[in-house]
Structure 1
Amino acid sequence: MGVFWANIILYFCIAFGVVFGGSMLSGIAAVLTLQSPTEKMMTVAENIKIWAMVAAVGGTIDPIRYIESHVAIGHLNPAIKQIILIIVAFFGAQIGTSLIQMICKGGHQP
């Protein structure tokens, strides 16, 4: 398997894991602090989605600099690959959030 495909899987799983793991642990914390675990889990899932993407791509500004530097010299392929990795991280975070919402709402969404 190529490095790019390995990174796609890695970025997806990191973003998914940050949202899912963080939300599940916030549910445990909510129980310990006598709060509503479902409300807390859904709130945390929405709030950490962007940070899950940041964690997956390895920083907030470096990927943007990478894209800019390659586009500036006319190398579009590396820039497109970086954009794809950011999109994959978004999908991982979004699927993690959707799974938490399904768990908290009992499987059906409105």
Structure 2
Amino acid sequence: MGEFWSTTVLNYFIALGVVLGGALLGGIGAFLGNTPPMNSMEQLSEQLKIWALVAALGGTFDTIRSFEVNILGGQLNQVAQQLVFILSAFFGAHTGTVLIRWFIQGEL
């Protein structure tokens, strides 16, 4: 069970890092490109959410395949674990978006 929780925490922080890193570096790129960096950072944080989920889960195909195999095999505890992994990655990506909005003093 220790591996389950470490993977859950890892998924959270990978998704968080993708959103924070992408938005912050995108803001620097927007500044260098002479566009409003704060607007770009907010837009990027929203657009990067789905990619943060994919990065944290290691590709969506493996997760979907795992659902198929475990549901058909009757291993519902494995399905529940995959759902927790997905939720963990989602919450990490959402936390990153909220932090970016807070950082730029945008709308929470």
Range into which the TM-score falls when normalised by the shorter chain:
over 0.9
Larger displacement relative to structure 2 (24-33 or 97-106) = 97-106
Tell me which residue corresponds to 1:49.
Answer: 49
2:95 matches 1:95: yes
- 4+ residue segments displaced more than 6 Å: none
The one-letter code sitting in structure 1 at the alignment partner of 2:6 is A
Distance 2:43 2:100 in 1: 10
Counterpart secondary structure, 1:61: helix
Tell me which residue corresponds to 1:6.
Answer: 6
Tell me which residue corresponds to 2:21.
Answer: 21
Larger displacement relative to structure 2 (1-10 or 25-34) = 1-10
- Structure 1, residues 86-107: CA drift from partner, whole Å, max 9, x if none? 010000000000100111126x
Q: Percent identity?
A: 45
Distance 1:97 1:88 in 2: 14
Distance 2:94 2:30 in 1: 22
TM-score, normalization: structure 1?
0.93
Shift of 1:64: 1.0
The one-letter code sitting in structure 2 at the alignment partner of 1:56 is A
Output the aligned Cα RMSD.
1.3
The one-letter code sitting in structure 1 at the alignment partner of 2:87 is I
Shift of 1:2: 0.7
Q: Which runs of 5+ in 2 are unaligned?
A: none
Q: Which runs of 5+ in 1 are unaligned?
A: none
Shift of 1:68: 1.4
Tell me which residue corresponds to 1:34.
Answer: 34
TM-score, normalization: structure 2?
0.95
